[in-house]
Amino acid sequence: MIDQAKVRVLLLESIHPDAVSRLEAEGYQVESLRNALDEVELIERIPGVHLLGIRSKTQVTAKVLEAADSLVAIGAFCIGTDQIDLGTASKAGVAVFNAPFSNTRSVVELALAEIIAMTRRLTEKNNLMHEGVWDKAAVGSHEVRGRNLGIIGYGNIGTQLSVLAENLGMHVFFYDTADKLALGNAQRCSSLDELLELSDVVTMHVDGRPGNAGFFGAEQFAKMKQGAIFLNLSRGIVVDHGDLRDALTSGRLSGAAVDVFPTEPKGRGDEFVSELRGLPNVILTPHIGGSTEEAQADIGDFVANKLNHFVQEGNTTLSVNLPSVALPAQSGTSRIVHVHVNMPGVLAQVNSILAEHHVNVEGQLLSTRGEYGYLITDIGGAFSDDVLDKLRGMSQTVRLRVLS
């Protein structure tokens, strides 16, 4: 059982103060750092930490998780979780939570703003004005109305972008490897090549799983329309930036907007190095797709609540790696949560141990997900340490926690 006053929380990458306040209100010891930590630094800091909060730059590797002797949960205060070794986390019984919806609107609004800015060539006009050049020519400047938008990845962000772009008068096409319901008048493309051939603007909204590394390169740029515009607000590793530069300098593309990069500075003020610097009609932003005050406040509150409910109640609703279980708390009971290998007979074995020790079950809920199962059991009355020893000693047990 963890004493709440002794729960140590480490938050990295300037996570919103609302998260700090929420966790401190529960009596937790919270340390919040401005920057990300590399693997060596995090391995040094992680012992004794119960809750870890990160954003997109911090890599929670297998080595980090092996050094985490007290960790019970990780909060990704962002959408993506590919920076976390989910397999190792599951094997250790460490729950991982993210914010799959909180910054969707912020990313979509940035994408729309960049599409309009590049289609109107605002970046070039702005640069000329700052140089004292008055150029009112309309050459190369277009309305977005009537143009074709191709969305690669039709998830939470892609679908909302689809709806808002259509409201601007754009014709929306999308491609996704999973079956997705088209919203509004959006049309599904049967292949990526079909989308590239149709689209005046192509925007990436895929995840950063290893299989997506180098997903978009010279071959794909060559299949895009002459003079098309390209956006990537997903993950830096999915696009070959050298090939993107070649497509821009050759005139194949008329513009690009990039918010994510294969290698990003650790903190504010550090030098940003990229082959895309200095190119005209290219918008470069420092991974700020979800960085609005509204989104960050919502993310801070959402993920902090998930972490707190897991610590105090064992609830795993919306966990990205453990089965989703939420059992209403009952007064006068003790709660045991059991992460185990998903094998037949585990529930029967747990209840057999409880019955042998005359422990009364007041409430129980089990769910499985892939290799693992997650069981919450509320029991009435006292129980001996022998009960816990027997449960921990089961061959299928990954982790056992007593919450109250």
Catalytic residues: 235, 264, 287
For residue 89, give the amino acid letter. A
Q: How far is CA 389 from CA 201, 245, 345, 384, 397, in A?
A: 60, 60, 19, 9, 11
Amino acid, single-letter form, for residue 105: R
Coil, strand or helix: which one is 223? helix
Residue 110 near residue 220, CB atoms below 8 Å = no
User: What are the CA-CA distances from residue 397 to residues 47, 128, 247, 325 (Å)?
Assistant: 23, 66, 53, 17
How far does CA 277 lie from the centroid of its chain?
27
At 322, is the secondary structure helix, strand, or coil?
coil
Six token digits for residue 152: 């690669």
Name the nearest CA neighbour of 231 among 251, 258, 207: 258
Structure tokens at 217: 């390169």
Q: How far is the C-alpha of 151 from the C-alpha of 201, rounded, in Å?
A: 8
Q: Can you read off the two tokens belonging to residue 68?
A: 């985490």
